[in-house]
Structure 1
Amino acid sequence: MSPEPSTTEIPDASVLDARDVARRLGTDLASGLSSAEAAARLERDGANELEPPERIPAWRKVLAQLRDPLVVLLLVAIAVSFVAWVVEGAHGAPFEVIVIAVIVAANALLGYAQEARAEAAVAALADMSAAHATVVRDGEPRSVPASEVVVGDLLVLGEGDTVAADARLVSAAALRVAEASLTGESEPVLKDPAPLPAPTSLGDRLCLVFSGTAVAQGSGRAVVTATGMRTEMGHVADLLATTVEEPTPLQREISGVGKMLGTVVVVIAVVVVATILVTSHVRTLDGLVTVLLLGVSLAVAAVPEGLPAILSVVLALGVQRLARRGAIVKKLSSVETLGSATVICSDKTGTLTRSEMTVERVVTASGEVVLTGEGYSPEGQVRVVDDDAPLTPETRPDLFREVAIVLGGGSLANDSSLRRDGDRWVAQGDPTEVAFHVAERKLGTTESRAARFERRGTVPFTSERKLMSTLEADSAPEAADHALVTKGAPDVLLGRCTHQRVGGSVVPLDDAARERVLAEVDRLSDMALRTLAVAYRPLRELPADLDDGALAALERELVYVGTVGIIDPPRPEAATAIAEAHRAGIRVVMITGDHPRTAGRIAGDLGIVEPGARTLTGTELDEVAARGPDAEAQAVRDVSVYARVAPRHKIEIVDLLQADGETVAMTGDGVNDAPALKSADIGVAMGITGTEVSKQSATMILADDNFATIVDAVREGRGIFDNIRKFLRFLLSSNMGEVATVFFGVVLAGVIGLASDDGTLVLPLLATQILWINLLTDTGPALAMGVDPATEDMMARRPRRRDERVIDGRMWRDVLVVGAVMGAVSLLAIDLVLPGGLVEASGAVAGAGTLDAARTAAFTVLVLAQLFNAFAARSETVSAFHGLLANRWLWGATILAVVLQVLVVHVPALGEAFGTVPLTGTQWLVCVALASAVLWVTELRKLFLRAADRRPARA
């Protein structure tokens, strides 16, 4: 019968003895819980499952897509346009209503589809949990669904198992647990049931195992201390569920543009109506309705209804280009955000490194060698450190023999394997052990070693011994019949050694030699290398019983051979990408759960920081935070390498950087990265090594796990941002030209000869003509500008500030100037065609001098002016003639627009629909000349800006 628990709350089981934890939880370490007690606890605490996120009805998700200010403005435009169409007699189809409605619906459906992908994030966390677990109940091991594991259960852990719940180890035999997905630790962690002297970070709690991690080697038993949402995995799920996904800078800016345009629209409508009522003598109800409809039409014309659709299409084209480069973007607006990133926070393991342990150094009594090449492909050289020459049996026979014994011994005392599968190498087992196989193949002694030795017994690695030994039958004629080969922690192994291998001789290992070996180990550790030593013992007589205990007793009087230094090497392309990021003014920050010394070494090698720069651990960050927010904010500004961090620390770092005005991109591949990926301005997950949770939480996935792809994405994002500015400048200035034409055409009707003799209100443009202009120029040319090639080295400039507007003051001045010029030349065309006014045109230009001819001329000038504006708007300062032929899509859209405008003017049926009459050749030339004024005025302004930029700055 289970003892009565004293409490079910264990504040920190890592600092308590396992027996004390079991007593508090009412667990018998021999028989586990009873079935009845387990059922009672399951009823009390609930299933060992992660809570699913609250489901939001589909209709609420769709409505959420319609809350954007610009979309709300378009909905108002739909309503107003529909009312105007009804009041005017409901003739024909309400084309403007249909077009705007389709745009709004398409954007809402697109947003809904994007958000649906994110809902699986917490569900993916649950999928990582073990389907079944082995527990001891009623004194017998039994397999139960993982959801039925309860606090106090005695877990039985074996190689390949997924840990079902957080638990305190009771016993462990060579137990190694892969915790990279939770802590960021690059290699499986060797577990030790001994209690810790004090609380420590998650990655250093060696006596605990955590839900969702995997047993890579060995076996053990553990008492469950937390289930479901109370586990460390549950805390991550809670962070993920409660983390607010901030809108991207582009979303914030477009939202601001929508609000601003809403205000402008209301002002325009009120001013136009008031001005007309004051300047015109409107006396009838029909006249009043006409004036009101005109104000409404102008207000609707001021809204670039094509903006959301064009923005989505341009971003989608950018997404396709990135996909071809190996970057999969789930959220369209995130493409532009990458271009404005000022900080990239990156995980280390698997992101900046290969996640493949590699032997880098071997030190023996005869010298030291360095091994080139990285990863599991055995391509590389073994070179002598002293003279940087290749190591061969002829040039350095003693050193070669010692290195061969070290690498061969490490491959013998080893349970991993390395095999070739076609063009690639496949590794199985502990990554550190695989590293010995790879290194031995580089030396070229694998086949001779395999032919000489045959395993007869094994003493497995345990956390207490920190050693692994194998008994090998030795077929070499000059050798003893058997050899005990041992590898392990250098300080422990040296305690079992009495002799040392020096070349072809075995000499006593005196105190001076021991000190030299330990000094070499310390030097390798200072290089952030993990160290393992290799020794052996020739055996001519074997004990009668070859069980583990008898073989372990032979681990004495060993002959020390040498020590290896192992590291998870950086990706070769990562250093180049980081240098390119620095050139672009982007700071790279490493955030990892790995050891501080290792993190600092990798960061220095990659150029993230200068070698020896400060590394901050999660515990130290907590200490800094305790001193106040200012101290924490300053630390985040100064430090670019963080080690031994928990998931909450990653979010804190991201939040602090964002609060400091940075636009943060966060990369990662593990469960521990998921909350920070969601919290960052843009989350980037690894596609190959990344967990499903990180992929679902991120907004972009690197299909090739290549950090360099992020830099390509930044370059693409900057180009997209430039193109967004181009078509925004074009759309807003073109719409402003329409407003200026109608507004001043009414206000100045008497001046330009547009006023009627009876005082009836005469409009410079018809509503159908305004609609045609919007459909003709707000789609093709604007879309073509969205794929405009870059005109400068975008990675040579600093990223834009978080508070920098997409539409800044200088762009607004451009918009107003260009809009005014468009309005002026359009009204001048009316003045030239109609008799009277400021300019008395010749008969060739005036033609019949009818109102329809004048409107057709103004209509045509406005269309052509907007097409000239498309070329002028390609850059704020660079001449339109620079790279004039670079964008074939813009030329195609322009030619198509000209052809359609000619058809509208000269095809009788279209002329009747749009209120146009044919123009003469001379009138067409005049229209082209007037419209080109937009280009010449813009060119003069750019010339002035370029000259101003070259002037020396004044104090």
Structure 2
Amino acid sequence: MTDKVGVTGTSQEQTATHSVSPSLNPFAGSDPSISEISTVERAMNTSIEHGLSTAEAQKRLEKFGPNALASKPKDPAWKRFLAQFQDPLVYLLLAATVISFIAWIIERSTNPAGAEPLPFDCIVIVLILIVNAVLGYIQENRAEAAVEALAQMATPQTTVLRDGRVSTIATADVVPGDVLILGEGDTVSADGRLFAAASLRIAEASLTGESLPVAKKIATLDSVKSLGDRTNMVFNGTSITQGTGRAIVTATGMDTQVGKIADMLSQADEEATPLEKEMDNVSRILGIAVVAIAVVVLAALWLLEGFTSIEDVIESLLLAVSLAVAAVPEGLATILTVVLALGVQRMAKHNAIVKKLSSVETLGSASVICSDKTGTLTRNEMTVETVITPSGEVKLTGTGYAPHGVLVNIDGSEVSAASSLRGEVVKALAAGSLANNAELRQSQSGDDKGQWEIVGDPTEASVLVAARKIHAMENYQGIERVAEIPFTSERKMQTVIARDTSDADAMTAFAKGAPDVLLSHCSYIEVNGQIRELTDEDRSNILSQVERLSSQAYRTLGQAYRPLNVIRLADIEGIEHDSQGQVHDISEQDDVIERQFIWLGMVGIIDPPRTEVRDSIAEAHRAGIRTIMITGDHPLTAARIASDLGIIDEELAQRTGRRALTGDQLDAMSDDEFNQAVTEVSVYARVAPEHKLRIVNALQSQGNIVAMTGDGVNDAPAVKSADIGVAMGITGTEVTKESAKMILADDNFSTIVAAVQEGRVIFDNIRKFLRYLLSSNVGEVFTVFFGVVLAGALGISDPSSTGVTVPLLATQLLWINLLTDAAPALAMGVDGQTDDVMGRAPRKMSDRVIDRAMWMDIAFIGIVMAAVTLIGIDLYLPGGLVTDDAIHGLTHAQALTEARTMGFTILVFAQLFNALASRSATQSAFKGLFSNMWLWGAIALSIVLQLAVIYIPVLNTAFGTTPLDPHQWLEAMGLAAAVLVLSEIYKLIVRVFTNREK
């Protein structure tokens, strides 16, 4: 269904073939606004009457390329795959692989009979690296696919003149020389020179920051003007709010003004996120620790025993490999990628598209959210809430563009259908609907089928919706438009002359506009159906009501009418016309028409806040996140909406005497005053792009992690400068989406808060698996380190032989990492919310992902893990601390295999118990013990695989293990469980001290 005011006509263009030779774009580097349209037409080899031919357009498309902003060339698949290896942890493992391979070659040359037929250690490590790289590559591709899916949600279309006919083509197929057909609601798809315009107004805020639509004319400019003053030009990415026009395309793609800004933005370097920095730091610490420990151990062996043969060197190098394998959590990079990618997918389901995986953690750390007002905090659906007529004031229920609502009195009671007040409201809304160029309709296709939508100016459309709610147009079905005196920023009013087809002898002029302006054209007022002269008292009362509504942040619009008792326009007294009765341009004769109007009333219009946003802002405040509104709207409107949503700290505003600041006020401040204002004021109105950027920079200098929303090109610098730039998926320009790290598919502030919560959960999960992985790997390092240093005391080394003997084999350590690092850590990475993540303050920029308390926790668990493992080994070795010189009559080599199997098994199960303990740094592992069934599944899988290594003969040979008896399992489980028991005691102590401090 469609509600449309005015007469629309379709002119049938004559089919013609216009062939022109391809040429380079003559206006690629100049300004066509100062050239006559005939000059532009010739230069572009086109025709304003017929446009380009299809064949010529295809040639130009091949020459100039698609009409789209250029994006960074996508790296080839092989390059993106190799990038997975660019990590310090990977470098360590590659170094260990090289050392192991050299040791294998040396051993093959000196002891061929005793050497392994293949370098199994090298092969296993390389396979693990390849598996990690494949997983990382797959997950990053999935994240990229989510962003690409958003871009392909809809293919933009453009109306052009081709072969003399009006055609609709893909926006990407528009070429220089095309003739654009422009109408209300269209988005301009390229830069062009206007040659026809009728009441054409274009919203260029996305490009220039100008809040009001710009009136366009076809006259040639006398000199080069700034972008906002090129009134005979249209620009890519802007939108038409009123009128119609035609333009010759002079620039497409990256040659447009939007493209030039996009090109400048592409030169800026992006800073690494806090998570990326922290992971680099962890990798660096691990690398230094591994090298330091290896050097210390090797130096100790050289000083205590000396290297007397090549075998000693080989054994020492293998020890270094073992330490490297034990220290490096090979799956860390992959697990981090998978956890972030899964988080990205969950966010995408809730309309938050994250472009870069590591940005998830930054979002979870946000301490300030700077948000635009329109469409993000509000519905971006102008709504008539109040109507004031000469007899009184009423309210209209319902928000948005769906025409559902009722007329109620101030006390909330419904207005009687027979009341004179209702009749006045009906007449006022009808006049406002007739003097209107907007369109209200229901979508006929897509996911939004059946949803109400508008075409044209939202303020005008709000009057159509209000009239539809109370059926105000039922008595005006026979009205047809005859002429129009359009709205301009100078006139601030619009008049439409219409004829009632049922009464051909009369015409009526309907007008709407700024109440104070419209009132100056009125001589009469209609009260209770009676028309009388408008008195000074009437004028004073109306203007005071306008002031009252404005103070309440309403946008006001007055309505009036004037009967014209004539059959033809030429019959109106004072109208200029020729001898045949042809009226001269009626829009130039407003002084004759727009007088002696009858005042009907006015409406109060507001863009209502989203109903869910207030709760989201309250939740953000509870999480210690400050919300700041930055808008180009009026300060009163901004403050009213901000107050309704709970953005303004009323106590602070009362103390400082400032509820909102404007761009002019910010300009008048010194740097110190500005920084102080940013800490106190949360609403900024009538601001320019440079103000937004300055606010973001000031907040960041104060130690905040800032999320900044934006939709227009002018928002792009601030969005890119913010720690987490957020672009609007519906209203956002392509340039802003390119600059942002996250895109809101629904343009809703509540989605940002939900994404922050998800980001915090993900960050908690990252800390969980980091605590688990690092404590487990530290346990392995301590096991190898102390196993070597105390080898003689523990009975690990054989007194009758020479050389170095390690407590666990390199392949066993690698198996432990593969077995316990991958599945359990990944399960913890997708853990649900175990704590009230929104009940704590955001993480500061100076806070580390792995802080001092976490390092202490890691070291404690690592020491316990190493202790129980070495105790288990010692129990089964002759010459140990608690054993005799002989055990079960086994040789030292057999006993060492059995002891290693015990230590191997204890370390595996100690890490599985550690997985349960690591879900929280303070909460007991038994709280919500079975809430994460993925973790239990991972533990079960690890147990099954460990049993296979112990009981399958082939794997016994590969990993140097031997089957265990039931009593050995009891001993192993008892020692391994000590990790969980001691962890619970440690957490209890932490909770007690934490509560005391509180």
Q: Which of the five TM-score ranges fits, normalised by the shorter chain?
A: 0.7 to 0.9
1:467 match: 493
Please identify, of 653-662 and 419-428, the stretch whose mean Cα deviation from structure 2 is larger: 419-428
Tell me whether 589-598 or 178-187 shows the greater mean CA deviation.
178-187
Q: 1:300 matched to which residue of 2?
A: 325
Most deviating of 675-684 and 334-343: 675-684
Instruction: Report the counterpart of residue 12 of structure 2 in structure 1.
Output: none
Moved more, 317-326 or 818-827: 317-326
Unaligned residue ranges in structure 2 (runs of 5+): 1-30, 47-63, 108-115, 163-172, 444-448, 572-582
Instruction: Name the stretch that deviates more: 593-602 or 813-822.
Output: 593-602
Contact 1:420 1:426 (C-alpha < 8 Å) held by counterparts: yes
Change (3 A) 1:770 1:155: closer
SS at 2:557 equivalent: strand
Alignment of 1:49-128 (within 5 A): 52=70, 58=76, 67-87=86-106, 89=116, 91=118, 93=120, 94-104=123-133, 106-107=135-136
Letter in 2 for 1:76: A
Q: Determine the C-alpha separation between the residues in 2 that align with 1:792 and 1:201.
A: 55
Q: Which residue of 1 aligns with 2:942?
A: 897
Residue of 396, 412, 417 corresponding to 2:439: 417
Please say if residues 409 and 415 of structure 2, whose CA atoms lie closer than 8 Å, have aligned partners that are also in contact: yes
* Aligned position for 1:11: none
- Note if contact 1:342-1:799 (Cα within 8 Å) is conserved in structure 2: yes
> What residue number does 1:594 align with?
633
User: Residue 458 of structure 1 corresponds to which residue in structure 2?
Assistant: 484
1:549 pairs with 577, 583, 586, which one?
A: 586
The alignment status of 1:429 with 2:451, answered yes or no, reads no
Match of 1:938 among 970, 973, 983: 983
Equivalent residue in structure 1 for 2:421, among 399, 408, 423? 399
Residue ranges of structure 1 left out of the alignment (5+ in a row): 1-20, 40-45, 135-144
CA distance in 2, matches of 1:417, 1:544: 26
In the alignment, the residues of structure 1 paired with residue 986 and residue 289 of structure 2 have an alpha-carbon distance, to the nearest angstrom, of 26
Q: Is the 1:754–1:764 contact (alpha carbons within 8 Å) kept by the matching residues of 2?
A: yes
Please tell me the residue identity of whatever aligns with 2:461: V
Matches within 5 A, 1:569-580: 569-580=608-619
Counterparts of 1:434 and 1:414 in 2: how far apart (Å)? Answer: 8
CA distance in 1, matches of 2:691, 2:896: 71
- Asked if residue 775 in structure 1 is aligned to residue 814 in structure 2, the reply is no
Q: Match for residue 339 of structure 1? A: 364
Residue of structure 1 in register with 2:868 after alignment: 825
Give distance in 1, aligned partners of 2:630 and 2:958: 64
Deviations 1:128-161 (CA, angstroms, capped at 9, x unpaired): 9999899xxxxxxxxxx987689xxx99987577
SS at match of 1:666: strand
- Picking from 385, 389, 394, the partner of 2:413 is 389
Equivalent of 1:790 in 822, 825, 833: 833
The answer on whether the counterparts of 1:358 and 1:375 sit within 8 Å (CA) in structure 2 is yes
Do the aligned partners of residues 359 and 101 (structure 1) sit closer, same or farther apart at CA in structure 2, a change above 3 Å counting? same
Match of 1:535, SS? Answer: strand
Task: Tell me the distance in 2 between the aligned counterparts of 1:201 and 1:399.
Answer: 50
What SS is found at the alignment partner of 1:569?
A: coil
SS in 2 for 1:177: strand
Partner of 1:370, secondary structure, is: strand
Alignment of 1:702-781 (within 5 A): 702-760=744-802, 761-781=804-824
Give the match for residue 269 of structure 1: 294
Give the conservation status (yes or no) of the 8 Å contact 1:203–1:593. no
Report the AA paired with residue 789 of structure 1.
Answer: G
Q: Does residue 1:260 correspond to 2:282, yes or no?
A: no
* Kept in 2: contact 1:670–1:694 (CA 8 A): yes
Q: How does 1:622-661 map to 2 (within 5 A)?
A: 622-624=667-669, 627-628=670-671, 630-661=672-703
Q: Which amino acid aligns with 2:857?
A: D
Q: Pairwise mapping of residues 490-569 of structure 1 onto structure 2 (< 5 A)?
A: 490-543=515-568, 545=570, 547=583, 549=586, 552=590, 553-569=592-608
The alpha-carbon deviation at position 286 of structure 1 amounts to 0.6
Name which of 300, 306, 309 aligns with 2:334: 309
| Alpha-carbon distance, 1:366 to partner | 1.4
Aligned-partner residue type, residue 910 of structure 1: L
TM-superposed CA distance for 1:926, in Å, is 0.8
Q: Do the aligned partners of residues 491 and 835 (structure 1) sit closer, same or farther apart at CA in structure 2, a change above 3 Å counting?
A: same
> Structure 2: which amino acid aligns with 1:909?
V
Q: 1:184 to 1:440 in 2, by over 3 A?
A: farther
Distance 1:463 1:172 in 2: 16
Deviation at 1:934, TM superposition (A): 0.9
Residues 602 and 244 from structure 1, CA distance in 2 versus in 1: closer, same or farther, beyond 3 angstroms? farther
Q: Aligned with 2:570: secondary structure?
A: coil
SS at 2:793 equivalent: coil
Q: Is contact 1:833-1:847 (8 Å) kept?
A: no
Name which of structure 1's ranges 450-459 and 273-282 shifts more when overlaid on structure 2.
450-459
Structure 1 584/194 Cα, relative in aligned 2: closer, same or farther at 3 Å?
farther
The one of 846, 855, 867 equivalent to 2:900 is: 855
Tell me the residue number matched to 2:579: none
Do the aligned partners of residues 695 and 48 (structure 1) sit closer, same or farther apart at CA in structure 2, a change above 3 Å counting? closer
Please list, as runs of the form range in 1=range in 2, the aligned pairs for 1:20-39 lying within 5 A after superposition. Answer: 27=35, 35=42
Change (3 A) 1:925 1:227: closer
Query: Which residue type is aligned with residue 251 of structure 1?
Result: E
Between the aligned partners of 2:739 and 2:526, the Cα distance in structure 1 is 54
Q: What is the CA deviation profile of residues 854-909 of structure 1, one whole-angstrom value per residue up to 9, with x for unaligned ones?
A: 11111111111111111111111111111111111211221222222222222222
Contact 1:418 1:426 in 2 (8 A): yes
Separation of aligned partners in 1, 2:44 and 2:729: 43
Does the Cα contact within 8 Å between 1:61 and 1:112 map onto a contact in 2? no
1:51 Cα deviation after fit = 8.7
Q: Give the total of aligned pairs.
A: 902
| One of 449, 462, 469 as aligned partner of 1:442 | 469
TM-score for both structures, normalised by structure 1:
0.84
Q: Is the 8 A contact 1:480 1:539 kept in 2?
A: no
Residue aligned with 1:409, SS: helix
Q: CA deviation at 1:565?
A: 1.7
Q: Is the 8 A contact 1:353 1:568 kept in 2?
A: yes
* Mapped contact 2:92–2:324 kept (Cα < 8 A): no
Q: Could you tell me which amino acid in structure 2 is paired with residue 427 of structure 1? A: I
CA deviation digits over 1:354-382, x for unaligned, max 9?
Answer: 22221122112211122222110012232
Residue in 1 that maps onto 2:968: 923
- SS of alignment partner, residue 951 of structure 1: helix
Map Cα deviations across residues 900-954 of structure 1 (whole Å, 9 max, x no partner). Answer: 222222222222222122222111111111111111111111111111011146x
Q: Does the CA contact (< 8 Å) of 2:725 and 2:741 recur in 1?
A: yes
Match of 1:327 in 2: 352
Aligned AA (2:118): H
Could you say if the C-alpha distance between residues 384 and 161 of structure 1 is closer, same or farther in structure 2, counting changes exceeding 3 Å?
closer
Q: Distance in 2 between matches of 1:171 and 1:131?
A: 15
Change (3 A) 1:116 1:902: closer
CA contact (8 A) 2:201 2:241 kept: yes
How far does residue 706 in structure 1 lie from its aligned partner after superposition? 2.8
Q: Could you tell me how far apart the structure 1 residues matched to 2:728 and 2:144 are?
A: 20
Relative distance call for 1:392 and 1:157 in structure 2 (3 A) is same
Specify the SS of the correspondent of 1:391: coil
Q: Structure 2 vs 1, CA of residues 702 and 893 (structure 1 numbering), >3 Å: closer, same or farther?
A: same
Deviation at 1:545, TM superposition (A): 2.0
Change (3 A) 1:27 1:120: farther
Please give the alpha-carbon distance, in whole angstroms, between the structure 1 residues aligned to 2:259 and 2:762.
39
**Given the alignment of the two structures, is residue 604 of structure 1 paired with residue 646 of structure 2, yes or no?**
no
| Mapped partners of 2:483, 2:687: distance in 1 | 40
SS at match of 2:452: strand
Distance in 1, Cα, partners of 2:666 & 2:156: 30
SS at 2:356 equivalent: coil
8 Å contact 1:66–1:108 — kept in the other structure?
Answer: no
Q: Which amino acid aligns with 1:432?
A: T
